[in-house]
A and B are shown apart, each in its own frame.
Chain A
């Protein structure tokens, strides 16, 4: 999962906000118990002041936005689309993201055309030796 910087900041800021809201609500719940209001009528401890309520709601909303937008990767379920992305190299199988893997796109069924079980190793060795000779000759 590649996290982007803006959502990281968003998550950090809104976590602090939520913690603050949490603390405020806790403090508020202590208030009526320790200091009853002057006229003696008990204040309703269940109703939170508007600012704490707003702070909680906003911080949670921002936190959710931050988390959901922090680069969760979904893959297309249709074979047509997915295979196309693999062919064009947009997705590299094996958990490597496209930027680090500089190589070619790998199709889903490439194994059928490469057939590793029938690998002609002598032919490939010869091919490589010829290439090496060629490179050494030209350089």
Chain B
């Protein structure tokens, strides 16, 4: 038994809550990345600057998640702490972002 398993035996976790929390975080991220996409489209960002905007936006959202629902203690709600909040569902988030980004880019500049 390695150290991590041992620690899990001494301080057990509740798997359902881990799942529920990560679902909530993924929901928040996909919702906010769509909104970020709207902003990027309106601002008319192109190529690299657009993705840089997404990166900054995601970091901002992660910061908000850690601040509001988690009360500044990410380790209480996700196993990996900070990193897991930022890295939750990156690919899904990018998809939603690109979708609304291109949509609003096209809508605003007919």
Whether A and B touch directly in their complex, counting CB atoms under 8 A apart, is answered as yes
Q: Identify the A interface with B (CB < 8 A).
A: 18, 21-22, 25-26, 29-30, 45-46, 48, 52-53, 56-57, 60-61, 63-65, 67-69, 72-82
Q: B32 near A72 (CB under 8 angstroms)?
A: no
With A75-B20, A77-B17 known as contacts, the answer to whether A60 contacts B64 (CB < 8 A) is: no
Q: B20 near A22 (CB under 8 angstroms)?
A: no
> A73 CA to B110 CA in the complex, in Å?
41
Q: Identify the B interface with A (CB < 8 A).
A: 11-14, 17-18, 20-21, 24, 28, 31-32, 35-36, 38-39, 42-44, 57, 60-61, 64-65, 68-70, 76-79, 104, 107-110
Closest 5 CB pairs of A and B: A75-B17, A60-B39, A68-B64, A79-B12, A69-B68
Q: A29 near B13 (CB under 8 angstroms)?
A: no
CB distance from B53 to the nearest CB of A (A): 10
Q: B35 near A68 (CB under 8 angstroms)?
A: no
Main secondary structure of the interface of B (DSSP, over half): helix
> A82 CA to B57 CA in the complex, in Å?
32
With A22-B108, A29-B109, A68-B64 known as contacts, the answer to whether A78 contacts B38 (CB < 8 A) is: no
Q: A56 near B13 (CB under 8 angstroms)?
A: no
Q: A48 near B64 (CB under 8 angstroms)?
A: no
